[in-house]
Structures are given as C-alpha cells and as structure tokens.
C-alpha cells in the first residue's frame, strides 16, 4: 500500500473518507447537467485537502454528497469503512453527528448565545453533560485564542473571532472528518491567513481528515494535497503547481 505522508513528513492514518465513482445529475427543464461524473477521492486522518475549481464546477455538490446531505445518483461514500450513500435518513444523520464537522463561509452562529454556548450546543445534542460540554468548549476556544471572549455573543466578536468560534463548534464532538466551504472567504486577507494557520494546526493535532473548498489558491497551495473539480471529476494537482 502507498505510504501517504503530510507536507511535514508525518504519516497519515487509514482512510476516513472514500468517494468512489460519484455521479450526480440535475435537470433544468430539458437541460441535463452532469455535476459529478465519476468523482473519486480518498482522505486520511491528519491531512488537509484543498478542493478547487471555478464557480459552478460542482464543489458544493461534492461537499454535500460527502457530508451525506445529498444522495448521489450512483457511487459510494465510505466513512470510516461504512458505505453511507444508501443509508436511510436517520442512519446518515447519526453518522454526520458522530463523525463529521461542517464549517461554512458565513459562520452561522446562533446570535442569542455566547461563544461558549454555541460550541457547547452540538455536544449537548449528542448527550454530553452541560459541565462536560462547557469544559470542552472552553478548551477549544482557548486553543484558538478566544479564552477571554467565551461569554461574548457573535455580534460582539470580530469576523475572525466568529469564524474561530465556528471552527471550535465543528470540532466540538471530536469528528473524524471536517468539510469546509470557503472557511476564510468572508475574512480580510490578514485575518484569513491567521485563522487558516490555526485551523490547519488543529487538523494536525486532532488527526482529522479535512476537505476544504476554496477559491484562494495561495491557501490551497499550503495544504497537503489539492483536488481540482473539472468535468465532474476530481483531478489531483501538486500544491506547488498553484504558486
């Protein structure tokens, strides 16, 4: 078996996510749009993989299928060894809650709750006690430099602080897989760079597999691997080729 290592030379773990020959077609009137046409990829624990491509290429559709939010017309979505593409809605929801974290361009924090409450919320839904959830939320937020902002509501946080809170929330239930759609796209370049570095460091430390859709080729070039969405398929590029 091929030896997969990160840009730091660290070994990746066994496959967390396998996408196998995914196909997804949409119809607009009489027009047929083949968004996914045999897309395949493998992600392993501890690696950050960039997903690039022009707008409309199908990046969001791929993330939705990988995150079990959409069902492909055919193909497999294998999470931690289990084929989830044909599971029923309840089973897919359980996999998402137990194994996945999601980060979006717009943080989608609950405005009436503080930072620590936003990060504790998914843990409470999973059955963790309030004390445990608060302690975990505090640990994550502190690791992202928000130890003095725990009780602030989203409107009282800067854009970078809001996105750090969203990253902490995505990691709250110790997922094996992170799916991120333009996670720094709404930030100014300097803030985006700082948040990106913190995000990647957490991926390394927590040994999470991360698929990160981005239009920022400079950030994509700093990840372990780059997948380009083209013609409904995934083409692997060398990160250095983007610079």
Q: With a cut of 80, say whether residue 12 has pLDDT above it.
A: no
pLDDT of residue 2: 38
pLDDT of residue 239: 77
Residue range 132-152, pLDDT digits in tens: 999 999 998 998 888 999 999
pLDDT of residue 210: 93
Distance CA 232, CA 234 (A): 7
Question: pTM for the whole thing?
Answer: 0.84
Q: What's the angle, vertex CA 18, arms to CA 199 and CA 170, rounded to 5? A: 30
Structural domain contains residue 136 = no
CB-based contact 143:165 (threshold 8 Å):
no
Q: With a cut of 50, say whether residue 5 has pLDDT above it.
A: no
CB-based contact 105:181 (threshold 8 Å):
yes
The number of folded domains in the chain is: 1
Q: With a cut of 60, say whether residue 162 has pLDDT above it.
A: yes
Structural domain contains residue 82 = yes
Structural domain contains residue 138 = no
Structural domain contains residue 123 = no
Mean pLDDT taken over the chain: 86
Mean pLDDT computed over 87-96:
90
Domain containing 75 equals 15-110+176-242
Structural domain contains residue 209 = yes
Q: Band of the pLDDT at 235, cuts 50, 70, 90? A: very high
- Describe the crossing of helices 115-125 and 130-143 by its angle, rounded to 10 degrees: 130
Residue range 194-209, pLDDT digits in tens: 878 888 888 888 888 9
Higher pLDDT, 201 or 230: 230
State how far the alpha carbon of 142 is from the alpha carbons of 115, 136, 137, 202, 217, in Å. Answer: 11, 10, 8, 12, 29
Q: First-to-last CA distance in the chain?
A: 30
CATH number of domain containing 64: 3.40.50.300
Residue range 24-45, pLDDT digits in tens: 998 888 888 888 999 999 999 8
Distance CA 74, CA 223 (A): 29
Distance CA 224, CA 215 (A): 16
Residue range 62-84, pLDDT digits in tens: 999 999 999 999 999 999 888 89
Q: Residue 187 gets which letter from DSSP?
A: S
């Amino acid at each position: 078996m091929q030896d997969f290592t990160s840009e730091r030379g660290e070994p990746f773990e066994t496959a967390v996510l396998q996408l196998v020959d995914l196909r997804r077609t949409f119809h607009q009137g009489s027009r047929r749009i083949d968004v996914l046409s045999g897309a395949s990829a493998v992600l392993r624990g501890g690696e950050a993989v960039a997903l690039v491509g022009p707008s409309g290429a199908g990046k969001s559709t791929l993330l939705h299928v990988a995150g079990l939010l959409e069902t492909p017309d055919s193909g497999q979505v294998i999470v931690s060894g289990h084929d989830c593409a044909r599971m029923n809605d309840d089973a897919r929801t359980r996999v998402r809650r137990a194994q996945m974290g999601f980060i979006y361009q717009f943080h989608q924090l609950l405005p009436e709750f503080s930072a620590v409450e936003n990060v504790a919320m998914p843990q409470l839904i999973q059955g963790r006690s309030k004390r445990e959830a608060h302690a975990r939320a505090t640990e994550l937020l502190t690791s992202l430099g928000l130890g003095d902002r725990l009780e602030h509501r989203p409107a009282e946080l800067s854009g970078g602080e809001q996105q750090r809170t969203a990253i902490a929330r995505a990691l709250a239930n110790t997922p094996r897989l992170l799916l991120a759609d333009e996670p720094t796209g709404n930030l100014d370049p300097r803030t985006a760079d700082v948040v990106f570095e913190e995000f990647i460091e957490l991926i390394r430390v927590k040994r999470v597999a991360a698929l990160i859709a981005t239009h920022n080729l400079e950030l994509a070039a700093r990840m372990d691997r780059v997948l380009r969405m083209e013609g409904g398929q995934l083409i692997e590029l060398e990160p250095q080729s983007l610079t």
